[in-house]
Amino acid sequence: MSPIVKLTDVHKYFGTYKVLEGVTFEVPRGGVAAIIGQSGSGKSTALRCINALEAIQGGTIDVCGHAIQDPELNRRALRCDVGMVFQSYNLFPHLTVEQNIMLAPTCVKLMRKPQARDLAHQVLAQVGLAEKAEHYPEQLSGGQQQRVAIARSLAMKPKLMLFDEVTSALDPQLTGEVLKVMEELARGGMTMILVTHEMAFARKVASQVIYMHKGTVWETGSGTMLDSPRTAELRSFVNNGL
């Protein structure tokens, strides 16, 4: 079966600064890839390239049948297939939770409001927030807001979800409730790529761990690779976070 995402020898520069230097990996349908690595190793940039938020200067990226490097890339179709959740929730403060979630399905997919409202309630139930539909973002905790952001993404029925350090701004308890939602998504068969510092989560949930170092995939394998790293760099990262 063809992979949902396939990066082949991807090179990315910011000006003359090389951020990605031949990144290659693929994620099969239903796979959960956890990208780990030091700050500045290119993790966020790799995710942003997958979603065509950044142009690449070499190599190819195939995402759900879209060739990201193609100048004719249909971004609208890509956005429908790929959901992305960031560390900051970016909910609209003047809209209720339900309205935040209905926005993309009604505006992008031209779904009718009653149908979009049903969908909003369905995805809110999925993240355990069915009773918060009428609330405004400021009435929710950070963890709840992040779960709304995930629900908003789910409402577009993506084939792939990208998560960039979605729990980094949260305290441990709220982190736990967001990770639980992500674990359930993974169990439900969602294809996901997540950048995370949560090693226990990566070990437990990821089908594939990708350790990035200096803009390359330095080491990759299953979660157990974290217990017996092959490279000194990964060993040091696992032991010290360095």
Give the footprint of ligand ADP on this chain (CB under 6 A): 14, 17, 19, 37, 39-45
Number of CB atoms found within 10 A of residue 134's CB: 10
Stretch near Mg ion under the rule CB under 5 A, chosen from 37-45, 92-100, 118-126, 146-154: 37-45
Q: Which is nearer to ligand ADP, 21 or 177 (CB)?
A: 21
Length of the chain: 242
Picked from ligand ADP, Mg ion, none, the partner binding residue 96 (CB below 5 to 8 A depending on kind) is none
Tokens of 177: 């409730």
Contacts by 217-224, CB closer than 8 A, 24 or more apart: 217/23, 217/24, 217/25, 218/37, 220/25, 223/34
Q: Which residue is nearest to Mg ion (CB)?
A: 44
113-126 vs 142-154: helix axis angle to the nearest 10?
A: 130
- Pairwise CA distance, residues 211 & 226, whole Å: 9
From the list ligand ADP, Mg ion, none, which binds 138 (C-beta under 5 to 8 Å, kind-based)? none
Q: Are 82 and 88 in contact (CB under 8 A)?
A: no
From 10-18, 40-48, 52-60, 231-239, span contacting Mg ion (CB under 5 A): 40-48
- Residue 127 touches which of ligand ADP, Mg ion, none (CB < 5 to 8 A by kind)? none
- The piece of 6-14, 38-46, 48-56, 63-71 that touches Mg ion (CB under 5 A) is 38-46
Strands 5-14 vs 160-164: parallel, antiparallel or unpaired:
unpaired
The stretch near Mg ion (CB under 5 A) out of 25-33, 36-44, 49-57, 226-234 is: 36-44
Among positions 41, 44, 100, 191, the unique one binding Mg ion when judged by CB under 5 A: 44
Q: Which does 137 bind (CB under 5 to 8 A by kind): ligand ADP, Mg ion, none?
A: none
Query: Minimum CB separation from ligand ADP for residue 154, in Å?
Result: 24
41 binds, among Mg ion, ligand ADP, none (CB under 5 to 8 A by kind): ligand ADP
Can you point out the beta strands (E) in the chain? 5-14, 17-27, 32-36, 58-63, 66-67, 82-85, 160-164, 191-195, 208-213, 216-221
